[in-house]
């Protein structure tokens, strides 16, 4: 069962991903190496939630509830108990591969590792982990809280159960999966 979500990268995509997961009731740990980026992400998420509440799209009580489910951190070890982790850092292949090596060594066995990449092959990312069957692409569209489409991209070794869990998770977020 997926309950705890790790989000790596607190930029535009990462904060949007953290927002939608937390809004749907998931506990989220949002990781970034830049403290100012984490602070900016939390402000952006709150502002977007408040805008949604003012428009009547969500109840006002959801703002505080959602913010209470997001923990910002600079320590990757805080992602250890994630059931599902989504990487959303810059489209720089060496950086992504390094993050996946570290993520694989950090999160618990059985956790699914997803990348928000739009250009790097999932098979290449999966190859640097000890769990290629648990690696998948989960490419959100920008702005994440608004756009419904999410691309789900399998690598050569991505298991059927990983693909099915990611598909189901996408639907729970109120998003439209495109496999």
- Please tell me the distance from the alpha carbon of residue 70 to that of residue 60, in angstroms, as a whole number: 17
Whether residue 135 contacts residue 156, with contact meaning beta carbons closer than 8 Å, is answered with: no
Whether residue 98 contacts residue 63, with contact meaning beta carbons closer than 8 Å, is answered with: no
To the query of whether residue 167 is one of the catalytic residues in this protein, the response is: no
User: 85 CB contacts (<8 Å, ≥6 apart)?
Assistant: 5, 6, 7, 8, 79, 103, 107, 111, 112, 113, 114
**Catalytic site residue from 19, 92, 139, 167:** 139
CA 64 to chain centre: 20
- Please tell me the distance from the alpha carbon of residue 11 to that of residue 64, in angstroms, as a whole number: 21
Query: Known catalytic residues?
Result: 139
């Amino acid at each position: 069962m997926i309950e705890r979500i790790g989000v790596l990268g607190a930029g535009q995509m990462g904060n949007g991903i953290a927002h939608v997961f937390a809004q749907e009731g998931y506990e989220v740990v949002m990781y970034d190496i830049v403290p100012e980026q984490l602070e900016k992400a939390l402000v952006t998420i709150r502002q977007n939630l408040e805008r949604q509440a003012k428009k009547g799209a969500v109840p006002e009580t959801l703002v505080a509830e959602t913010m209470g489910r997001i923990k910002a951190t600079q320590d990757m070890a805080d992602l250890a108990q994630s059931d599902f982790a989504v990487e959303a850092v810059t489209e720089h292949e060496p950086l992504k591969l390094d993050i996946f090596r570290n993520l694989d060594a950090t999160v618990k066995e059985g956790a699914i590792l997803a990348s928000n990449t739009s250009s790097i092959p999932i098979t290449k990312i999966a190859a640097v982990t000890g769990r290629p069957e648990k690696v998948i692409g989960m490419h959100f569209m920008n702005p994440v809280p608004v756009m419904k489409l999410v691309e789900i991209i399998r690598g050569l070794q991505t298991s059927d159960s990983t693909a099915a869990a990611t598909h189901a998770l996408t639907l729970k977020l109120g998003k439209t999966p495109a496999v």
